Amino acid sequence: MSTDALDELDFGILHLLQEDARNISPVDMEDELPVSDTTIRNRIEKLEERGIIEGYVPLINYEKAGFPLRVKFACTAPVQERSDLAEEALELHNVVDVEEMLSAHENVQILVVTDHADGLHEVTSQIDALGLTIERESLVRRIHRRPFNHFGEHMVSGEK
């Protein structure tokens, strides 16, 4: 399965994991998919081995966790240094997400969470010191998410 394309069962598993990986087990998935929990376990293991499933991360409400300031920085990095600078930015204190964009301008997007303006000032200085040019800073009000719905939603039927 290492070089094979994903099939409908893989997509169904990915769909269910995206909906709520914390509260669904292969036994629960067995009720939704037309195969056994053992098959589902094996498929999940193979998806992890192939790097299709990279990990399981909780979605945190930073405001409720005591970090009310969330700021998205749109930065520009020299194209040849973009990947390295994105990885370095991810290591900065208070940085929780870095997106590497395929563009020459605003090609590194950094999400910072903090509980006070001093923390924001500190990380702004650190981003600048990395050699990234900060083009824009935007205060994030709310992030809305949903599963990518092309991952086998129709495969999940509730019947075997």
pLDDT at 151: 66
Cα distance between residue 115 and residue 6, in whole Å:
42
Question: What topology is assigned to 8-57 in CATH?
Answer: Arc Repressor Mutant, subunit A (1.10.10)
Do the domains spanning 8-57 and 69-139 agree at the CATH topology level?
Answer: no
CATH code for residues 69-139? 3.30.70.920
Cα distance between residue 17 and residue 148, in whole Å:
11
Q: Which helix (H) or strand (E) holds 9?
A: helix 8-20
Does the pLDDT of residue 58 top 90, yes or no?
no
CB 115 within 8 A of CB 64: no
Cα–chain-centroid distance for residue 87?
Answer: 15
Cα–chain-centroid distance for residue 130?
Answer: 23
Cα distance between residue 2 and residue 12, in whole Å:
18
pLDDT in tens, 71-99: 999 999 999 999 999 999 999 999 999 99
pLDDT in tens, 137-157: 999 998 888 777 666 666 675
pLDDT in tens, 9-44: 999 999 999 888 999 999 999 999 999 999 999 999
Cα distance between residue 30 and residue 93, in whole Å:
41
Is the entire prediction scored with pTM above 0.75?
yes
Domain spans, the chain? 8-57, 69-139
Mean pLDDT of all residues belonging to the chain: 91
Cα distance between residue 61 and residue 141, in whole Å:
12
